[in-house]
C-alpha cells in the first residue's frame, strides 16, 4: 500500500517537474527570442536612439564673406568675439541659472528680456545666446564656475563689424539672426535658424554668396549637457568676398556735401546748439544719435543736416559710384542684440534714417521730367527743334488756369529754350498734343515706372500714370488737366533718385538702355539693350540740357564745370509740396525758407558730364530743400568736380 502510494507520488512529481521544466524552457526561449529581436532585428534603431542621447549635433557657422569698396577698403568684415549661450533642455531652473549668471557677469535687463523672448520662440535643444561680447575677465569667471552651470556654454564666434559706420549704413545693410517669421515662411531652413542672415542692403542682396556653406559637428555630452568631446563631420566653407563699384572717398564727399547743403557747420557741443535742442524737440530727436552735425542756415537758425539722396553712375559701365541717402544709420548697432534705446532713437527720428531714399524714396520728378516729354513730342513729330509756343505765364485748360513758374511769361520759345529756362507753359502745350500714352512709353524707355533691377532690396518702382491705370486705380477717367500736370513731372508721376540717374545716363549715352550695377566681379548686368530713341531727338534734348548749364538764361549756369574740362548738361527741378496759403501770403511767408520744413518745395537736379564724351550721370534730391537751381545744382556740381579732380589725379 505504502509502496503504491509512493509510486503514485513519484509519478505526479515527475509530471510537475516536467511541466515546470517545460515552462522554464518556453520562458527561456521567449527571452532569447526577445533579446534576439531587440539586439539583432531592432539593434540599429536602438543604436540610433542611444547615439541621440549621447551626442548633440550642431551647425558650424561659416566665415561670412567680406564686403569691400572699389579700392579694397573694408566695408563689412568679421571680428573675434566670445558668445555666452544657454541650452534650455539641460536646465531644470532657468530663473536660477539667470541669477547665477547675473552674479558673475553684467547682464542688462534688456539682455535678460531678449533671452526670455527668444526662449519662448526657440526649440529647447537649440542654444540661445544671452551675451555676444564677453570680456576676458567675464570669460574667466564663467569658466571657473562652469561645473555648477549645466547647459551654459561659451564659445569663440565671429562678430560682424562695419568699419565705415554710418557712411555705409544703407549701402552695406546689416545682418541679424533669422526671425521666427523667416523660418515659418521657409525663407530660412530650420537647420540654419540659429545663423545670422542679411536683413538689408548688400548683406541681403548677396546673402547666398556672402554666407557660404555651414559645417556640422557632433558633440559628446554628459548627463548635464556639458561637452566632453567634439568631432567635425563636415567642415564649413567660407562665404565669398564682394568688391563693390562704390569708392568710399566719393561716398564720403557726396554725403557730407548733401548734409551741408548751403548751410554752415556748427559743433554739436556748442552752447548755441545745445540751447536750440532744448527748445526744439524735433531738432533734438534728429541729432540724438550723435552721428549728425548741426548747421546754421541763411536766416541764422540752427538746423539739422539736409535730407535726401545723391546717386552717381558711370555711364560707360553702369557702375554705381555713389549711392547716398541722408540721414543714415550705423549698421554696427544691429550686429548683436539691438538695444531698445538704439531702436527708439532710430524710430523717433522724424527724418526716418532707416529709409533708403536712393532706392525707396519716391518723389515727383518735377522739371527733370521735361526731357521725357520733349523726347516723346520730338519722336511723335509733334514738334521739331525750332517749333515755337508762346508762354504768357499761364495756360487755360477747360475752366482751369495752369501757371508757369515765371509769372510774367517766357514769350515765344522753342524746345531748347524751354529746357534752358524750364518754361512750364511750353511743356503744357506739347504734353497735350503728344498725349499721356506716348509720354508714358518714352518714360519707360528711359527707365522710369519700373524697378531698375539693381541688386539691392527694397527698390521701388515709381509711377508713370496712364489712362488705364487711372481707371483701374480710381475708377475715374483720365482728364486733360492730369496730362498737363504730368507734363511737368507732377500729379501722379513718381520716380526714385536711382531711376532719375538711370534716365540721365540713357539720355547722355543715347544708344544703350543702361542699367546700374553694384559689384566689380560681373555678378550683375551684361550687355545693355538698345535704347531705341532716335539720335536726332536725343541731340535736341542734349542741346537743351547743355543750355541749362551755359545758356544766358540757363537755370543752373553758375554751376557748370567747363573750367576744369568737364562741361555739364543738366536740368533743374523744383517740386511744390504744398501751395502757399492765403494766410501765409498775407503774413509775408512766401519764401521756402520761411515755411515749416515739411511744407517746403523739394529740390532736384540731374546732370551728366562731360557733354561731348559723357562719363558720369548724377541725380540729386534734397527733400524740402527749396529750389533745384539754388540747392540741388550746387551739390551736384561739387560732387562732379570731386569726381573729375580725382580722375585727373588717378585716384578714381
| pLDDT tens per residue across span 580-605 | 655 655 555 667 788 888 999 999 99
**Buried residues in 98-117 as b, exposed as e (16+ CB within 10 A):** beebeebbebeeebeebbee
Q: What percent of the chain has pLDDT over 70?
A: 87
Lowest mean pLDDT among 192-196, 209-213, 459-463: 192-196
Claim to verify: residue 288 and residue 228 sit in the same structural domain: no
How many whole angstroms from its chain centre is CA 36?
63
Domain boundary among 214, 243, 272: 243
What CATH number does the domain containing 143 carry?
3.90.1310.10
Q: What is the predicted pLDDT for the residue at 49?
A: 47
Q: Give DSSP secondary structure letters for 431-455.
A: HHHH-HHHHHHHHHHTT-SS----S
44-58, 331-345, 572-586, range with greatest mean pLDDT:
331-345
Claim to verify: residue 486 and residue 629 sit in the same structural domain: yes
Q: Give DSSP secondary structure letters for 229-248.
A: EEEEEE--BPPPPEEBS--H
Claim to verify: residue 114 and residue 199 sit in the same structural domain: yes
Tens digit of pLDDT for each residue in 606-629?
999 999 999 999 999 999 999 999
Claim to verify: residue 146 and residue 238 sit in the same structural domain: yes
Claim to verify: residue 291 and residue 416 sit in the same structural domain: no
Give the integer Cα–Cα distance in Å for 452 and 442.
Answer: 15
Q: What is the predicted pLDDT for the residue at 226?
A: 58
Range of the domain at 195: 56-243
Assess if residue 23 is contained within a domain: no
Lowest mean pLDDT among 250-264, 267-281, 302-316, 512-526: 512-526
Give the integer Cα–Cα distance in Å for 30 and 36.
Answer: 10
| CB contact set of 621 (below 8 Å; sequence gap of 6+) | 308, 309, 357, 361, 363, 497, 500, 602, 603, 604, 632
Claim to verify: residue 520 and residue 459 sit in the same structural domain: yes
Claim to verify: residue 134 and residue 175 sit in the same structural domain: yes
Global confidence as pTM:
0.85
- Over range 403-420, report the average pLDDT: 96
Q: What is the predicted pLDDT for the residue at 511?
A: 96
Q: What is the predicted pLDDT for the residue at 577?
A: 86
Claim to verify: residue 477 and residue 559 sit in the same structural domain: yes
Claim to verify: residue 361 and residue 266 sit in the same structural domain: no
Q: What is the predicted pLDDT for the residue at 477?
A: 96
Assess if residue 41 is contained within a domain: no
Assess if residue 521 is contained within a domain: yes
Q: What is the predicted pLDDT for the residue at 499?
A: 98
How many beta carbons lie within 10 A of that of residue 78, not counting itself?
Answer: 17
Claim to verify: residue 299 and residue 337 sit in the same structural domain: no
Q: What is the predicted pLDDT for the residue at 225?
A: 55
Assess if residue 255 is contained within a domain: no
Claim to verify: residue 268 and residue 231 sit in the same structural domain: no
| Cis preceding-peptide flag for 327 (omega within 30 of 0) | yes
Tens digit of pLDDT for each residue in 353-405?
999 999 999 999 999 999 999 999 999 999 999 999 999 999 999 889 999 99
**Buried residues in 126-161 as b, exposed as e (16+ CB within 10 A):** bbbbbbbebeeebeeebeeeeeebbbbbbeebbbbe
Q: How many domains does the chain have?
A: 3
Q: What is the predicted pLDDT for the residue at 527?
A: 82
Assess if residue 13 is contained within a domain: no
Q: What is the predicted pLDDT for the residue at 285?
A: 92
Claim to verify: residue 313 and residue 272 sit in the same structural domain: no
- Over range 212-231, report the average pLDDT: 71
Domain boundary among 303, 319, 353: 303
Q: What is the predicted pLDDT for the residue at 66?
A: 97
Domain boundary among 216, 243, 270: 243
Q: What is the mean pLDDT of the chain?
A: 88
274 Rama class: left (phi>0) / alpha (psi -120 to 50) / beta: alpha
Give the integer Cα–Cα distance in Å for 604 and 636.
Answer: 10
Assess if residue 129 is contained within a domain: yes
Q: What is the predicted pLDDT for the residue at 179?
A: 72
Tens digit of pLDDT for each residue in 11-37?
655 666 667 777 777 777 777 777 766
Assess if residue 24 is contained within a domain: no
Assess if residue 116 is contained within a domain: yes
Amino acid at each position: 500500500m505504502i509502496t503504491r502510494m509512493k509510486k503514485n507520488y513519484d509519478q505526479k512529481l515527475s509530471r510537475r517537474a516536467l511541466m515546470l521544466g517545460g515552462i522554464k524552457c518556453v520562458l527561456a526561449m521567449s527571452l532569447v527570442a526577445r533579446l534576439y529581436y531587440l539586439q539583432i532585428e531592432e539593434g540599429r534603431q536602438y543604436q540610433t536612439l542611444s547615439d541621440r542621447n549621447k551626442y548633440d549635433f550642431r551647425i558650424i557657422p561659416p566665415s561670412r564673406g567680406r564686403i569691400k569698396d572699389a579700392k579694397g577698403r573694408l566695408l563689412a568684415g568679421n571680428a573675434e568675439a566670445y558668445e555666452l549661450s544657454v541650452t534650455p533642455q539641460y536646465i531644470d531652473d532657468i530663473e536660477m541659472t539667470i541669477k547665477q549668471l547675473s552674479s558673475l557677469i553684467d547682464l542688462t535687463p534688456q539682455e535678460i528680456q531678449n533671452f526670455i523672448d527668444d526662449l519662448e520662440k526657440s526649440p529647447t535643444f537649440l542654444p540661445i545666446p544671452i551675451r555676444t561680447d564677453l570680456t576676458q575677465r567675464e570669460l574667466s569667471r564663467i569658466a571657473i564656475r562652469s561645473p555648477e552651470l549645466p547647459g551654459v556654454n561659451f564659445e569663440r564666434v565671429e562678430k560682424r563689424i562695419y568699419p565705415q559706420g554710418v557712411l555705409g549704413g544703407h549701402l552695406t545693410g546689416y545682418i541679424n539672426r533669422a526671425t521666427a517669421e523667416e523660418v515659418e515662411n521657409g525663407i530660412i531652413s530650420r537647420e540654419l535658424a540659429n545663423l545670422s542672415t542679411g536683413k538689408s542692403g548688400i548683406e541681403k542682396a548677396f546673402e547666398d554668396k556672402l554666407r557660404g556653406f555651414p559645417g556640422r559637428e557632433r558633440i559628446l555630452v554628459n548627463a548635464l549637457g556639458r561637452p566632453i568631446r567634439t568631432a567635425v563631420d563636415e567642415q564649413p566653407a567660407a562665404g565669398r568676398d564682394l568688391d563693390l563699384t562704390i569708392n568710399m572717398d566719393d561716398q564720403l564727399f557726396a554725403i557730407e556735401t548733401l548734409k551741408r547743403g548751403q548751410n554752415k557747420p556748427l559743433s554739436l557741443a556748442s552752447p548755441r546748439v545745445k540751447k536750440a535742442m532744448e527748445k526744439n524737440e524735433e531738432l533734438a530727436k534728429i541729432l540724438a544719435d550723435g552721428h549728425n552735425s548741426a548747421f546754421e542756415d541763411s536766416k541764422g537758425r540752427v538746423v539739422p543736416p539736409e535730407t535726401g539722396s545723391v546717386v552717381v553712375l558711370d555711364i560707360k559701365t553702369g557702375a554705381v559710384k555713389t549711392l547716398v541717402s541722408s540721414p543714415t544709420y550705423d549698421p554696427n548697432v544691429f550686429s548683436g542684440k539691438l538695444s531698445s534705446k538704439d531702436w527708439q532713437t532710430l524710430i523717433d527720428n522724424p527724418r526716418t534714417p532707416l529709409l533708403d531714399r536712393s532706392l525707396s524714396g519716391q518723389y515727383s520728378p518735377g522739371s527733370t521730367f521735361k526731357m521725357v516729354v520733349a523726347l516723346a513730342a520730338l519722336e511723335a513729330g509733334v514738334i521739331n527743334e525750332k517749333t515755337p509756343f508762346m508762354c504768357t505765364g499761364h495756360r487755360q485748360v477747360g475752366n482751369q488756369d495752369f501757371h508757369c513758374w515765371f509769372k510774367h511769361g517766357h514769350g515765344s520759345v522753342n524746345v531748347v529754350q524751354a529746357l534752358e529756362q524750364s518754361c512750364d507753359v511750353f511743356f503744357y502745350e506739347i504734353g497735350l498734343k503728344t498725349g499721356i500714352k506716348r509720354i508714358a512709353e518714352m518714360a519707360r524707355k528711359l527707365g522710369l515706372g519700373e524697378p531698375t533691377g539693381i541688386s539691392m532690396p527694397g527698390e521701388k518702382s515709381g509711377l508713370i500714370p496712364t489712362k488705364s491705370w487711372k481707371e483701374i486705380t480710381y475708377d475715374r477717367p483720365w482728364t486733360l488737366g492730369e496730362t498737363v500736370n504730368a507734363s511737368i513731372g507732377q500729379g501722379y508721376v513718381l520716380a526714385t533718385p536711382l531711376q532719375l540717374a538711370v534716365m540721365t545716363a540713357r539720355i547722355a549715352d543715347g544708344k544703350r538702355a543702361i542699367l546700374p550695377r553694384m559689384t566689380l566681379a560681373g555678378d550683375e548686368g551684361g550687355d545693355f539693350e538698345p535704347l531705341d530713341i532716335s539720335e536726332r531727338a536725343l541731340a535736341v534734348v542734349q542741346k537743351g540740357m547743355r543750355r541749362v548749364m551755359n545758356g544766358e538764361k540757363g537755370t543752373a549756369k553758375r554751376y557748370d564745370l567747363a573750367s576744369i574740362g568737364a562741361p555739364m548738361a543738366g536740368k533743374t527741378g523744383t517740386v511744390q509740396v504744398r501751395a502757399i496759403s492765403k494766410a501765409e501770403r498775407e503774413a509775408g511767408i512766401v519764401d521756402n525758407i520761411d515755411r515749416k520744413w515739411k511744407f517746403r518745395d523739394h529740390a532736384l537736379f540731374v546732370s551728366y558730364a562731360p557733354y561731348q564724351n559723357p562719363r558720369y550721370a548724377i541725380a540729386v534730391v534734397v527733400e524740402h530743400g527749396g529750389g533745384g537751381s539754388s540747392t540741388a545744382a550746387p551739390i551736384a556740381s561739387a560732387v562732379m568736380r570731386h569726381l573729375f579732380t580725382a580722375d585727373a589725379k588717378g585716384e578714381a
